[in-house]
Structure 1
Amino acid sequence: MPLLRRLWIYQRERIPLFKTAVLLAVFSAASVNVSALLAGRPFPHWAAYATAFAISLIVFMQLRACDEYKDGPDDQRFRPERPIPRGLVSLRLILTIGAALVPVAVFVAWLYFPPLIVLLALVWVWLALMTVEFFVPDWLKARPILYLVSHMAIMPLLDLFVTGVEWLPAGGGPAAALFLFLLLSFVNGCVLEIGRKTWAPENEREGVETYSNLWGVRRAVTVWIAITGFSFVLLVGVGFATGHVVATAIPGLAMLVWAWTVAFAMRNAPDGKHQAKLDTVSGLWVFVCYSAAGFSPLAAKVLS
């Protein structure tokens, strides 16, 4: 097949661009909005939103490329149906694309506000350390909680850059309450990771590390329920900090009720159908969280 056709199939299987772009558009725009709301500043020029979105998308593509490198040996052995093991595209090609996006991201950041490159460099340094498993792969994999925490730390670092698109040009540093939003990004990363790696018993595979295999389905789902609850508490905290707690909390609470309904169904009857729903609702939870934090205050102002 032509190269472009093979790359299209690759993105569809490994990082669906439309779905990813929608989530990142909400994530990046909400982050810029929250940064401005917390500091009581007007929203920035549209170029800030375009910069935050473009570089967020690039970083997520690079995350996928680094995962392909990191997980390559296990994929060859246990997941031969994936695009690289089955020969659809080469690992070298995917890594080359990821590397080629570095100067693109640097140029986009420089074009908007050159000091942003420092924050972007912090993201890339952590991504590089993640790719080599912080030079202690066996030790880290033997400690799954520490593994999760170390890898999900990339989310608040990315969000520090994205919010920095707003607060760095404004001067004076980030708002004091921004740490709540960064912590929310970290917790939501855990929601996504545990949600997509909690499987029904019949779907477990040799060589594929899942939290359901590690802890058992009931405990993995219980942990997911607890983390989404903590995420909601942080969301409410962000609402208090922006001065729009009711507008922020209502959509979050509605989504939490639905998410927990799906989770309890998975815990009581762990099958493939409920596994798929838990995976889906994990992504929707993150989508609603950022939407509530970044856009509900705007809706409240319009309605008032």
Structure 2
Amino acid sequence: MASHGILLVDKPGGLTSHDVVARTRRAFGTRKVGHAGTLDPMATGLLVIGIEGATRLLTYIVGADKTYTATIRLGARTTTDDAEGEIVATADAAAWAHVDDAAVQRGIRALTGAISQVPSSVSAIKVGGRRAYDLVRSGEGVELAARQVTVSRFELLAQRRTDGFLDLDVVVDCSSGTYIRALARDLGDGLGVGGHLTALRRTRVGGFDVADAVGIDDLAGARTLTPAEAASRVLPVLHVTADEARDLRQGKRLVGQRDRLTASEVAAVDPDGALVGVVEARGHDIKSAMNIAEVQA
């Protein structure tokens, strides 16, 4: 039987997230595999993979905040807002005259905090049932609505000038749904020189870190986090008795117990350390929102 759990994979550049899922299916001998958040082929870093029953946890992981390291190239804009697209405009000397260190820092500050962001047109967002990037590649125009995101950290680590461009190495902490390519585009546009992403690495998803991930060639036999271990990294934990665990698994409520919850969604763990499921308040009671079968602990 395939493992039931969460696998952390360090995706290399050149592979799609679906490629990693396909390799995981082969390595673990199961079709029931999914991931919590796509990485572009150009990007590297952390993919959180769910296997068998633990795929049900992905819903609670995909919305976690994330950390990225990236390189933004100022001085050119591309069709995809990253290095895989064609350059459509480059900055001239007059545009660069207004770009100094202070201006770059002001631009970064303007894109920090709660901001309104228009996603890149080559994102995986669906428009009329089709992915935006498929529409763009087929030659159709795409206009995506702005969305509210939070960039809690946008920090410049290093910068260097090369061939008429200014490369910025940055680290970004952000809410789910933030597009780092769009940050690069908007920073360049705000400075009047254009910008795009040349490197991107995801280092953290919620309580999961790329330092704990396995390489793409080490999937076979890789250790997975149990559902309880994984859930405890993204949700508060409620320890329940064996009787309470049985009742929750059978769809019964814990009557009058809602005050035991510390958040709207909480991971219930039984005395054996197995994840019962995710529970929530229902009136004055506690009720399961999602159960994990006992054999998957």
TM-score using structure 1 length = 0.23
Q: Which structure would you say has the larger Rg?
A: 2
Choose between structure 1 and 2: higher strand proportion: 2
TM-score using structure 2 length = 0.23
